[in-house]
Chains A and B, each alone.
Chain A
Amino acid sequence: MPFDVFSIIISSLIIFISIYPFYYILVLSLNEGMDTRMGGVYFWPRAFTLENYTQILNDAKWLNGLLISVLRATIGTVISVFFTSIFAYAISPSWLRFRKFYRGWLIVAMYVSGGLIPTYMVFTAIKITNSFLIYIVPSALDYFFVLIFLTYYRTIPPSLREATLIDGASESRVFFDVILRISTPILATYALFSAVTQWNSYFDAVIYVHRQELRPLAYLLVEVLNRSNTSQFSPYGNAASFTTQSLQMACVIIAIAPIVALYPFLQKYFSKGIMLGAVKE
């Protein structure tokens, strides 16, 4: 079949261009740091070493960072999936009063902000800076995904809710037992997006958190990547904060490997037919 041939060719291409840069990072991270500086390492390590990894893993703050990242990704995701999905559901019905206001309020907020300094002042005033709460609270509602949830809820026939209400269920029962149940693909999608975003976020940790024990992996990674780029402005030149590219790449691998492994587990929720089964039930 021509489409099968086509699909094999295209997917091989996708696999190659997606994997190769990763493979390249891995190769650099397994190569000796000074040797990498000479360039020309593309396909396999020229001077193989695990030293870059042992150097990082011996540093206690990376383990602590891993713990913080896992905590913020799990707790933050659970809360955000709940709040985002229920808020989107609450403003979804076409017959709801003030629905235009609710949606407009949200959409304008996507683009309007007072800037970093006033935001910092507000977050300090509500006492979420310099604590774990800063990772959870501002991201509890994802404006963009509210809109994505809305497009999903649109496809649910209103009769489903009405039928359940007639059976004597309350509105919250409808949401928790029926709506959430048939929204698995979008819930899984958002859970993945939220977890990954949480995992990759570092700017909140940079600006709002000064306690070292609260620093996630992404912060530590950015610190490593930035320091070697900015050291040229120090009076010690390259002598300060000398980090080889190989060590940087080892940091990249360590920082992203755990979250990359998440996707295959969620993948099964993206298959067709979940909704239909629920309606027929």
Chain B
Amino acid sequence: MKKKSLFQEIWSQKFFHFWALLGVIFVFVISYASTFGLVIAFKNYNIADGLAGMFAGPWVGFKHFSDFFIDANFVRILRNTLVLSGLKLLFSFPMPVLLAIFLTEMRFDRLRRFSQTVSYLPHFVSWVVVASIVQVFFNSMSSGLINSMLLQIGAIDNAISFLTDPRAFWALAVLSDAWKESGWWAIIFIAAIASIDPGLYEAASIDGASRMQRIWHITLPGISHSIGVVLIISLGNIFTGGMSGSNFDQSFLMGNNMVLDASEIIPTYVYKMGILAGRYSYATAIGMFQAAISLIFIFGANYFSGKLQGQDEGLLL
């Protein structure tokens, strides 16, 4: 076959390139066009100076970055950010997958539909409301529902201080995240399972495969690509906290001064010390640092996902 020229090749794919370019332009305008603002990470920007002020004024180099790295709180908030996101990857990430498999395997149709519908209800409760519910349920005073119930049935002798213990904050954050978002993200995996060829299941049941074997050999491989993609993106969201990006809200609303050692994370710290204090250059610098780490994580994970499969291409690229 005669080799096509580059132009001919692109022309023959024109339907695809047309829509792709439209998307590229869209992404440029919506996302990349604003990156001119990153210049203020290297300046002392004063918002009163408006747009022109972003480019005027002297350069300060990496001052804001180094201010952040030598901050007395830096190590602690970096640790908290990584621990919180890491725990979520370990515990709240698998939940939607398990839930999706569980729901699709269930026999009772009405019960299945009903459980599926209610399992996504918590997604609609905003974190402000979740935080106040957590306080009402978990406080160790007489108004704390869980403590008073445990005391009443004699399971414990003294009320447990869920809200003042820093380690309990991590547990509460991960559990509430799993509770709030599992049903919601399960929908993606349910849709992925729906795309698996039913013929495979039919063949498997003819061969007499057990339920676990079917899940292990058909369902999981069938959705492994989706799982991989979501996992890689969650790795990239290490600063915002996994798929649902709940770290900020949780830390801001469910954290309190008693547990701050565990609850203060980079995004909340930037919000308080950067945005609220009017230090936009500082906030922008830290934002750049976070974006850089995220990109390293996501492209690194993509590279290894390719290597793992023995292919040149990762799951995303």
Mark A residues whose CB is within 8 Å of B: 3-4, 7-8, 10-11, 14-15, 17-19, 21-22, 24-25, 39-40, 42, 83, 86-87, 89-91, 93, 96-98, 100, 102-115, 117-119, 121-122, 126, 137-138, 140-141, 143-144, 146-148, 150-152, 154-155, 170-172, 175, 185-186, 188-189, 192-193, 196, 200, 221-222, 225-226, 229, 245, 248-249, 252, 256, 259-260, 263-264, 267, 270-276
Contacts and interface: CB of A to CB of B under 8 A. Distances in A.
A89 B19 CA distance: 9
B107 A141 contact: no
A148 B226 contact: yes
Question: Which DSSP category, helix, strand, loop or mixed, fits chain B's interface?
Answer: helix
Contacts of A93: 13, 16
Contacts of B23: 83, 87, 90-91, 102, 106, 141, 146
Interface string B9-40: 11001011111101110110111111111100
A114 B29 CA distance: 12
Nearest to A152: B195
Contact of A24 (B13, B22, B133): B133
Nearest to A148: B188
B298 A111 contact: yes
Contacts of B118: 14-15, 18-19
Nearest to A41: B136
Which of B125, B126, B298 has the largest count of A CB atoms less than 10 A from its CB?
A: B126
Q: How large is the interface on B (under 10, 10 to 19, 20 to 34, 35 or more residues)?
A: 35 or more
10 contacts: A83-B23, A90-B17, A91-B23, A97-B6, A113-B35, A115-B37, A248-B129, A252-B126, A267-B117, A276-B197
B95 to A, nearest CB: 11
Q: Which 10 A-B pairs have the closest CB atoms?
A: A118-B37, A114-B34, A114-B37, A171-B15, A90-B19, A118-B34, A87-B23, A109-B31, A185-B194, A185-B191
A58 B82 CA distance: 47
Contacts of A226: 128
Contacts of B188: 148, 189
Contacts of B230: 148
B160 interface: no
A102 B130 CA distance: 39
B316 A225 contact: no
B296 to A, nearest CB: 10
Contact of A103 (B102, B193, B201, B316): B316
Given A25-B129, A90-B19, A114-B36, A126 B29 contact: yes
B119 A14 contact: yes
A263 B108 CA distance: 19
Which of B20, B35, B199 has the largest count of A CB atoms less than 10 A from its CB?
A: B20
B20 A275 contact: no
A276 to B, nearest CB: 6
B20 A276 contact: no
A260 B31 contact: no
